[in-house]
Each structure stands twice: as structure tokens, then as C-alpha cells.
Amino acid sequence: MDASVDRIAQPWGGRTPYGRHEVWPARVDTHLEEGVAPDDVQRWVRAASILHSDGDAMDIAVVDGRMVGVRGRAQDRVNHGRLGPKDLFGWQANASSGRLTRPLVRRGGRLVETDWATAMDRIVSRSRSLLQEKGPGSIGFYTTGQLFLEEYYTLAVLARAGIGTNHLDGNTRLCTSTAAEALKESFGCDGQPGSYDDIDHADAIALFGHNLAETQPVQWMRVLDRLEGADPPRLVCVDPRPTQVARRATVHLAPRGGTNVALLNALLHEIIRTGRVDHAYVEAHTVGFEELEARVAECTPAWAAGICDVPAARIAEAAEILGSADRLLSTVLQGVYQSHQATAAAVQINNIHLIRGMLGRPGAGVLQMNGQPTAQNTRECGANGDLPGFRNWENDQHVADLAKVWNVDPKQIPHYAPPTHAMQMFRYAEQGSIRMLWVSGTNPAVSLPELSRIRSILSQERLFVVVQDLFLTETAQLADVVLPAATWGEKTGTFTNADRTVHLSDKAVDPPGEARPDLDIFLDYARRMDFRDKDGGPLVHWHDPESAFEAWKRCSAGRPCDYTGLTYGKLRGPSGIQWPCNEDAPDGTERLYTDGISWAHPDRCETYGKDLVTGASDSVVEYRSLNPDGKAMIKAAAYLPPHEEPGAEYPFQLTTGRTIYHFHTRTKTGRVPQLNAAAPDVWVEVSVADADERDLNEGDLVEVATPRGALRGRVRVTDIRPGLLFVPFHYGYWDTPGGKGPDGSTPGRAANETTVTDWDPVSKQPLFKTAAAALTLVERGGGRAAPAPTTTASVPSRSGGVTATAGGPSASVAQSDGAPWHGREEGSR
Amino acid sequence: MNGITLTLRVLHHGEKHLARHLVAVAERHRTEHEVHHVATDLAVWSREHVQRLTDTGHHYGVKLGDPPHPSDSGVLATLREKAADAVGRRPEPGLLLLRDLRELHLGATENSLHWEMLAQAAQAAKDDRLLALVSSCHPQTLRQMRWSNTMIKNISAQILTSL
Ligand code: SF4
């Protein structure tokens, strides 16, 4: 099956069909720079993707100290050799011009180059004076979902025990905090129950608000291969857009925005009504079933149809598939997590699995997904609003245990309140109680809601902003100090994908100029701040990635995310390894909860739970009385109308999201020729009915406005549900005349000019899917087409006049069969 | 008027007051986004309670009023919103927020105690209608209490140590 495929035109490449319970055949995807033949490659260096949460394993091709391409790893159980378009082409961004090569500091209002000592001095002296004058609560850290485990852990230690601040979160708050919260609410603890291998065994796969085809393309290839093999699974798709998933689904439900809980309650109603409950499982492993039964008793498909605007008969069909499946796999992503009642809805999906006993067996699993590649690590390491190792901040034993690992007084670790979430940190900065904000590897000036507010917070005189990144992002342009960071391929570390698989990614080439690995920057800061443990020794006593990993292993010992059985050496073996990995499970753990629920006991659980509507914390007393034996918790939730509904002035619902050719804020993918050309600018998806009614056509320039702001984009008429507009998120300003925001020469372009500052009260994840918007014509397209791809959910409803998306020769990728590759391994030349 | 109708009246007043207060706090603290949105949602519960108390009152020959309209505050609300925006950049409103949350908590607690009293009376009188009313409303009052308590717990350290 050696073939060359244009992987912009065919993002999922060729098919390798396989039957249920068979092994997914390998297919090795290789893309090398033009003019480089496989034999020219001097070294292949082990890595995995950080452009999505699959963590697809790959090798980086190096020639003369330069990256020249990538190849999927056939031996790895996650991707069996395949890569998505972002991985195949994205590595080129590392070498693009515009990389930061020297630190910058603001002088006289302008950012000017300086040396590391000067830049770090500024940060350290500001930290010291703030600590002295205002206390640790005046300093906050906002990090990313794309650093390595070693870096998050180091950051967590220096922030929580060094500074002693409660303000540390990741932009994974925008991505995965609902996944974590839903798992905690149902199972008492974070940790993905299932495995990607469940795709091989399921006879029904339900994708809830999860455009798998574009967000995790390699696992979508796996589903496509199953669909073409023997005994294919039935697909249920819940998505208001005509995604590729929707097009292949047995049943597609396209609900109104913000109504997921109503829909899920109706699905639960039907499953219970038709007697599909596994009562033995419910009895043995759960509490709370009666409450759910009572709560959904009135939630008939006809009731939900009125709220969700989907036919009752379709809801019944979907429930029939969920109810009759022999092995059901559900996957969940932003259509649930970034929407109204996020956690309540995600928990109802867990409930489907709990009442049907669909957990802990091959094919019976839940994937509460991540959008960010290393989001799982922020959760484990406590860089995202949890304590490290899934410890419970309300359990004094857990805090004491952590204090022992760090050799500090428990009082030094803030645990009087939950760790501050990102949106609240920005509020504190707005109010002036946070005076220094250190942003690492993320771009809030594009990715947070209501951008004019975020820009005004970051530009305040009294707020000292540190930005650590690869490029002069929109956020970096507002900083007081900018630190040039190294990235993937230029540093070594580990990271963990959405199904708990840990991969090691080695350094392949040197970073440009004076750019440094994030770990080195944090270690340097810790050294300069001279953080000490309670015996006067250095608090951060490690010095490189491997010693940081060893330190983390100690912190993870005995916790659900136990890494103690892993070493860098072991991770250089054939494939990634799933945690927990320890003495009892030296090869890792494929599925959690194979013998009942293991981490929900009141003494072990990560949280005592929250009210699914108000976000109010339950107390340990309530938790103990509700769940004394530590079973899974079935938590019911009533549907609540969204906070912002369309009306006369703003008649549309507006939703936003990622697409296959771009990744967060396009800092990297916007600098990759093949990816940029496939989707170079923002666009607006409008339904056929709405376009007809307003006489709008493909390519017309329109303005989308909400009470917060506006953006302009060209119309793409699609089969999206009527009444709904879609705008791809994270088109920013670095590649516009405005540079960092809209101005006289640059109209609004970022979706987040318009989105509302509102978040799920339980997971604190901002809502990007539920704004009400107005749509007005600015200028006729005159034959132009929208800059939207034709291969994805944005496929035009009428193709006339729109050129099909293709990449041409530079997007050509070799696909070869999966025979293990016999070539030079790392370092052999 | 017997004790039951008296308690219905007191509760009716208390829930009406809480509904109004929740809406007022939501407006006053529009830049505290979580407070703004959740308080607005929680006001809906109190308005429902008022309606159900009014309906129940009929059976006891007590005339209680209808719930306040969600947007009855008009000009005043706009003023409060403007004030919220104007002070959004200052720390002192944090103190005001803590005071408002405390008042909400006390209001909900008072209602909760009255629901408790009504439940006891309903049981003694073997009044199923009343018992059904209490058992569907009281849990929501408890959740209003827990919410205001949680919010106070989560933000007071930052507000009080940064002044
Ligand atoms: S899904 Fe993600 S990790 Fe996988 S190929 Fe794509 S971009 Fe990569």
C-alpha cells in the first residue's frame, strides 16, 4: 500500500479496513521536506504530537542539525504509524522566521531586546517586592496545555510551595476542565476510564459534541477503517454542524445550542423506560440511581424535542442504539464542555455508561476528551486548579502527604479554598489584587472570551505581565517581559495523552538563538528566588528533565496517576505506556475500573463534589453519608435555559470551534504554508435557509456582532442547523496590519471578540458556544469564495464556484504499509 | 389565621425578598461574572417558590401576591449596572460583594428555617399537599445557602488580604 497522498485534500489519507476485535493495521505516514530522500536522513528522533490530545507517536527526521520531516511510529498503540495533517506539516513552524531569539523588556513603552540576566532580574525583583508588600496572593501563573510534564510539575511546586500562591491554572481550563470535573463528579477522581483501543471493540460509538474527524483525526481514521471493515459500529453523532462525523452517523442529532442536558435527560429517560438498565451493575457499583430515575421520568423525547428542536423520533432512535449496544463507547468534547451546563451534561454521559454497565471492558468505555495535547499533565501535576497527584485540597491528610513530599509545612501550600481558576485570576487582575501575571505558552489575548476586556486587563499599568512563548504573540506584545522559549523537538520531556498514554519526546535540534526550554526558565527562576524547603534545602532540587521526572514520580506514588513504574529508559521502548504504571502494573494499565470503582472512597477521593447547577461545594459529611463505600455517583441534573438567548436584536445563536487545519491561536499552524493555505482567514458558516432569507451568498463579507464586539468574515453557506452561525475560533491579529487587535486598518477577526464572559459554575470552563448574535451584510462577494476548507464540516452546501481544498505537491505524504521499519535508529550515524 | 397560614405568609415574603435580592446582587456585581449568572439562575427558584406558595395559599384561603417580574427593576437596574461597570476596576467592591453574599446567605437561611417549620406542621397535620410543597422547594433553598457559602469561602481570602 505504498502511496503518495495529498493530505490537505485528503486529511485522513487512505483506508486500511479491519473487522471488530481485530488489530488495526499499521500505516506509516511520512512527510519530508522537498528534496530530502529518506536515505538522506541522519537521525530519527523519538517524539509525539503536541498539536492535539492523541499524542500520536512519531519520529523527527534530522539532517545537519535541522528538522526536515516526520514519520509516524508503526509500533505505537495509539496511532499505529498514522499522523494527522497538523503533525505532518506543523513541525515547519519551529524554523519559521519570527521566532523569539532573545528576551525582551519594556522600556519607555516599547519592547526592546536584552539579555537573560536583565530579564530574569526584573521578574525576580518584582516578585520579591510584591511578596513583601502584598503577599503571595498578588502573583498569578497562567500556563498552557502544551508544555511537558516536567515543566508543569516544576511550575506547580514553585508556585504552590515556593511563592505560596493559590493562583495557578492552565489554558486547559478552556479545554479539559469539564472532562476532569465530570470524571471527579462521577468517579470521585480524575482519570480517563477507557482507552483508544475501545474503538476496535465497540459495536456502537456515540460522539457528543465531538468533531473527532477534525480534532483527533488519527482516531477518526480508526473509526473510518472500522466502518469499512467487517461488523462496523453504529455511530450516534450529536452536533449542530454537518461534520464528517455527522455525515457518517447512523443517527445525527443537531440540537439547538445550550440544550445538551435536555437531550441527554431524554436519552436517559428512554434507556430507563425501555428497561435497558443493568441493575446488577447499578446495585454493585453506584449510588444515586433512584434520583436519576425520578429526575428524568418526565423527560420524554417529545419534551426534549420542543427544547432542542430535534425530532422526537430521532431521539428515540439514538436511545435505541445506546440502549441496545453490546459494547458502547462514548466520546465527549467541546460541544459539551464549552456549552451551557457543561459539567451537568458531561456527567449525564457518564450516567449512560453507569446505568448500562458499560465500563471497564474492551469496547465499553467513556472518553471524556482533551482538546489540548498535554492537558492531562496539567491536571496530574496540579498546574490547572488541582493539587498534584489528584490530591483533595479539602482533605488535610492529602495536603499533609503532599507537604511531606515537598518537605514543607502544610501551611505553606494554600488549601483554604479551591485553586483559583483562570477566569477568576483575570478578574483579580482586573480588580487589582493580582499585580503580576506570568503567562507561559498561551495566548489569552486571542483565546479568552470578550477580547476587548482581556486586552484592557493585560495593558493595565499596575499589572506586571511576563510572557514566555515562541513568537511575539498578541499577548506577548502587551507584556512587560518576554522570554523566548524552546518548543517540542528542541527540548526533552514526557507528556500524556487523553487515554493516559505517556510518551517521551526527545530533543532533536537546538532552539534558535538564546531561546530556552521552559523547564530551564522555571528552574532558573526558582534558583534566583532561592525557594527553600523547611530544612533549608532547595525546594526545587532537580536540574534537568530526567531528574524532574524522577521528582514527579515520588509525588505520584500511590496516587491514581502513579508513574513510579516508568523511566526514561522504559519510555524509549517500542510504545507509549498508560498510567498507572507501578510495581503492580509494570506494563501500565489499559482501562480503569475493571473491578469496580477504585478512587471514590471518602478518604481517597479527589473532591467531595459540587452541585451541578450552582457549583456549590458539598462537604465531606455530605459526601460520606451519600457515598460511604466509595461507589460511582449517578448525579441527576435538571435542564436550565441558556443565559443568553436569541432575540430581536441578536436573532442568531453563535458557536465557535477549531477546524482540522489550525491549532490554538495559529501561533504555529498559521506559519505553516500547507495548513495556512487550506484555511487562511476567518469565515462565517450560515445555513441554507438563513442565507436564502437574507439573500446571502458564498463569499459575501458579513459582520457578526454580539453585545461584546464584532468580527468580519466571508459567508460559507452550509448544512449547519438553521438559526445557528459558526465561526472558527482563534484567528488572531499577528498576521494582520493591526498586529495585536482590531484597529482602524484591521476589523475584528477573532471569534472571541464576540463571546460572552460566562463559565460553567462547576468546572469553571468558559462558554464559547452560546452567544446570541446579529448578522449584517458588509459587502457582496462578487464571485469570491470564503477562505473555508471544502473537506470538513465547512463543506459548502452548493459546491458551485468553490474550488476544492487541495495542497498540491508540497502536501504530498508517503503512506506505506505497516511492516516494521528497518532503518537507522536514533544516533546510529 | 392559624400557624400554617402565618408561616406561608412569612415564607412568601421571604422568598419574594430573596428573589428580588438575588436579581439586585446579580446586577450590582455584573463584573463578577459567576455571581452575576448564577444569582440570576437562583432567583428563578425563589420566584417559583413564591408562585407555588401563592397557589398553595388559595387552598387555605390566604391571598398571597404573584412573584416579582424578573425584570421589574427597570431604571434602577440600569443604574446599578452602570455603577458595576464604573467600579469594575477597583478592589473595594469586593467588600460590598462579600456583604451582599452574606445577606443572601442569611436570607436563604431564614427561608430554610421557615420551610423546616412548615414541614413539621405539615407532618403533624398529615397534610400531604403541604408536605409535597416543602419537599420540592426546601432542597433548592438549601442549595441557595450552599452556593452563597461556597462563594464567600472561595473569594474572601483574596479580597480581605488585598485591601
Ligand atoms: S489528532 Fe492530533 S495528535 Fe493526532 S495527528 Fe492530529 S494533530 Fe496529531
- A66, three cell numbers: 535541522
Query: What pTM, to 2 d.p., does this model score?
Result: 0.94
Strand bridging mode A577-578 / A501-505: antiparallel
Residues shown for chain B? 163
Closest approach atom of ligand 1 to CA A86: 7
Q: Helix axis angle, B3-28 relative to B93-124, nearest 10°?
A: 160
Output the CA–CA distances (angstroms, integers) from residue A128 to A124, A135, A168, in the order listed.
6, 9, 18
Question: Residue A374: pLDDT band by 50, 70, 90 thresholds?
Answer: confident
Same domain, A302 and A166: no
- Using the atom order of ligand 1, give the atom closest to the CA of residue A56: 3
Strands (E) located in A682-723: 683-687, 701-706, 709-718
CB pairs < 8 Å spanning A and B: 83
- The reported pLDDT for the residue numbered A333 is 95
ipTM: 0.90
In a domain, A594, yes or no: no
pLDDT, tens only, B28-69 = 999 899 999 999 999 999 999 999 999 999 988 888 877 666
Name the residue with higher pLDDT: A228 or A740.
A228
Residues with CB under 6 A from ligand 1: A 49, 51-52, 54, 56, 83-84, 86-87, 216-218
Q: Give just the sign of the alpha carbon dihedral A62, A67, A70, A73.
A: positive
pLDDT above 90 covers a percentage of chain A that reads 91
What's the total number of domains in chain A? 4
* Long-range contacts (CB closer than 8 Å, 24 or more residues apart) made by B159-163: B159/A433, B159/B91, B159/B94, B159/B95, B159/B97, B159/B98, B160/B98, B161/A135, B161/A137, B162/A134, B162/A135, B162/A137, B162/A138, B162/A428, B162/A432, B162/A433, B162/B91, B162/B94, B163/B91, B163/B92, B163/B94, B163/B95
pLDDT, tens digit (0-9, with 9 covering 90-100), for A157-171: 999 999 999 999 999
Model confidence at B81: pLDDT above 90:
no
CATH code of the domain containing A22: 2.20.25.90
> What grid cell was written down for B67?
412573584
Which mutation among A87, A372, A792 tests ligand 1's pocket best, with the greatest number of atoms within 8 A of CB?
A87
pLDDT at B92 over 80: no
Do A115 and A27 sit in the same domain of this protein? no
Overall average pLDDT of the A733-753 stretch: 90
Statement: residue B78 has pLDDT above 70: no
Give the separation between CA A825 and CA A129, rounded to whole angstroms: 51
d(CA B12, nearest CA chain A) in Å: 23
Distance A650 CA to ligand 1 centre (A): 36
Is residue A816 classed as helix, strand or coil in its secondary structure?
strand
The set of cell numbers assigned to A413 is 501550600
| In a domain? residue A805 | no
- At B87 the pLDDT is 52
CATH code of the domain covering residue A674: 2.40.40.20
Q: Which of B88, B153, B157 sits opposite A430 (nearest CB)?
A: B88
Choose among B33, B34, B150: nearest Cβ to A617: B150
Which atom from ligand 1 is nearest to the alpha carbon of A217?
A: 1
**Do residues A695 and A562 both lie within one domain?**
no
- Whether A760 has a pLDDT exceeding 60, the answer reads yes
Partners of residue A423 in chain B, C-beta under 8 Å: 33-34
A4: three-class secondary structure by DSSP: strand
Task: Tell me, yes or no, whether A495 and A610 share the same domain.
Answer: no
Cell 530533543, located at residue: A507
Domain count for chain B: 1
Residue A737 located in a structural domain: yes
Q: Has residue A275 got a pLDDT over 90? A: yes
pLDDT band at A824 (very low <50, low <70, confident <90, very high): very low
Nearest to A224, CA basis, from A248, A204, A195, A201: A248
A420 assigned to some structural domain: yes
User: Is A381 in the same domain as A521?
Assistant: yes
Residue A40 CB-density burial (10 A; 0-12 exposed, 13-18 middle, 19+ buried)? middle
Average pLDDT over residues A407-415: 96
* Same domain? A403 vs A517: yes
**What atom in ligand 1 is closest to the CA of residue A54?**
3
Q: Which domain, by its residues, includes B77? A: 3-161
Q: What DSSP character marks residue A545?
A: H
| Position A826 confidence tier, pLDDT thresholds 50, 70, 90 | very low
Query: Which band of pLDDT confidence, cut at 50, 70 and 90, is reported for residue B86?
Result: low
| Interface touch A431/B40, C-beta < 8 Å | no
Say how many C-beta atoms besides its own lie within 10 A of residue A4's C-beta.
12
A50-81, pLDDT tens digit by residue? 888 889 999 999 999 999 999 999 999 999 99
pLDDT-based confidence at residue B162 (cuts at 50, 70, 90): confident
pLDDT at A19 over 90: yes
Higher pLDDT, B64 or A450: A450
Position A667 scores a pLDDT of 85
Are residues A283 and A262 both part of a single domain? Answer: yes
Which three cell numbers mark B76? 434602577
At A821 the pLDDT is: 38
Tell me the mean pLDDT in the region A636-650: 95
Q: Are A62 and A133 in the same domain?
A: no
* For ligand 1, atom 2: residue with the closest CA: A52
Q: List chain B residues with CB under 8 Å of A758.
A: 33, 37
Place of cell 459495536: A203
3-class secondary-structure state, position A577: strand
Cα of A214 vs centre of ligand 1, distance in Å, is 9
Nearest to A613 among B41, B89, B158 (CB): B41
Task: For residue A278, count other CB atoms closer than 10 A to its CB.
Answer: 15
Cα–Cα nearest to A384, from A207, A549, A135, A190:
A190
Contacts of B33 in chain A (CB under 8 A): 423, 427, 757-759
Q: How many CB atoms lie within 10 A of CB A525?
A: 23
A521 and A559 inside one domain: yes
Q: How far is the CA of A508 from the centre of ligand 1 (A)?
A: 19
Answer yes or no: do A431 and B90 touch at CB < 8 A: yes
Q: Do B162 and A137 touch (CB under 8 A)?
A: yes
Judgement on whether residues A394 and A435 belong to the same structural domain of the protein: yes
pLDDT at residue number A451: 95
pLDDT of residue A622 exceeding 60: yes
Residue B76 pLDDT greater than 80, yes or no: no
- Of the candidates A420, A616, A640, the beta carbon closest to that of B41 is on A640
Nearest to A441 by CA among A375, A382, A386: A375
For chain A, list residues whose CB is within 8 angstroms of any CB belonging to chain B.
134-135, 137-138, 166, 416-418, 420, 423-424, 427-428, 430-433, 611, 613-618, 640, 643, 757-759, 761, 764
Give every CB contact of residue B113 below 8 A, 6+ residues apart in sequence: none
Spatial strand order of the sheet with A110-113 comes to A110-113, A104-107, A481-484, A464-469, A436-440, A139-143, A168-170
Residues in chain B with CB shorter than 8 Å from the CB of A643 are 37, 40-41
Indicate whether A746 belongs to any domain: yes
Please give the residue range of the domain that contains residue A82.
3-99+812-826
The answer, yes or no, to whether residue A195 has pLDDT greater than 90, is yes
Name the residue with cell 456527567.
A347
Interface of B with A (CB under 8 A): 31-34, 37-38, 40-42, 88-91, 93-94, 143-144, 146-147, 149-150, 153-155, 157-159, 161-162
Evaluate whether residue A485 is within a structural domain. Answer: yes
For residue B68, the model assigns a pLDDT of 66
Whether the per-residue pLDDT at A504 is higher than 70: the answer is: yes
pLDDT computed for residue B84 by the predictor: 58
The rounded mean pLDDT for chain A is: 94
The pLDDT of residue A27 is 95
Looking at residue A687, what is its pLDDT? 97
Alpha helices in A505-630 (DSSP H): 518-529, 545-556, 568-571, 620-626
What is the phi/psi pair of residue A770, to 5°?
-140, 50
Q: φ, ψ for residue B72 (rounded to 5)?
A: -80, -5
A204 & A348 share domain: yes
Average per-residue pLDDT in chain B? 88
User: Which one-letter DSSP state was computed for residue A417?
Assistant: S
Query: Among A28, A31, A49, which residue has the most ligand 1 atoms within 8 Å of its CB, making it the best to mutate?
Result: A49
Band the pLDDT of A823: cuts 50, 70, 90. Answer: very low
**Distance in angstroms (rounded) separating the CA atoms of residues A117 and A110:** 19
Question: At residue A822, does pLDDT exceed 60?
Answer: no
Contacts of A506 (CB under 8 A, 6+ apart): A45, A46, A47, A492, A826
- Residues in chain A within 8 Å Cβ distance of B153: 417, 617
Kindly state whether residue A204 falls inside one of the protein's structural domains: yes
- Identify which has the larger pLDDT, A819 or A669: A669
Q: In what order do the strands lie in the sheet with A493-496?
A: A493-496, A501-505, A577-578
**pLDDT (tens digit per residue) in A327-362:** 999 999 999 999 999 999 999 999 999 999 999 999
Using 50, 70 and 90 to split pLDDT, how confident is the model at A704? very high
Chain A residues whose CB is inside 8 A of the B149 CB are 616
pLDDT of residue A828: 32
Q: Which residue has the cell 456583604?
A: B99
Q: Does some domain include residue A316?
A: yes
Residue A372: band (very low, low, confident or very high) from pLDDT cuts 50, 70, 90 = confident
Return the percentage of chain A with pLDDT > 70, whole number.
98
The span from the CA of A383 to the CA of A93, in Å, is 26
* Contacts for A422 with CB less than 8 Å, ≥ 6 apart: A142, A169, A170, A171, A173, A174, A385, A448, A764
Cα A53 to Cα A73: distance, rounded to the nearest angstrom: 16
pLDDT at A827: 34
**Mutate which of A73, A78, A86 to test ligand 1's pocket (most atoms within 8 Å of Cβ)?**
A86
Query: How far does the centroid of ligand 1 lie from the alpha carbon of residue A57, in Å?
Result: 9
Judging contacts by C-beta atoms under 8 Å, the chain A residues touching residue B42 are 614
- DSSP code per residue over B15-49: HHHHHHHHHHHHHHTTTSHHHHHHHHHHHHHHHHH
The shortest CB-CB distance from B162 to any of A134, A614, A616 is to A134
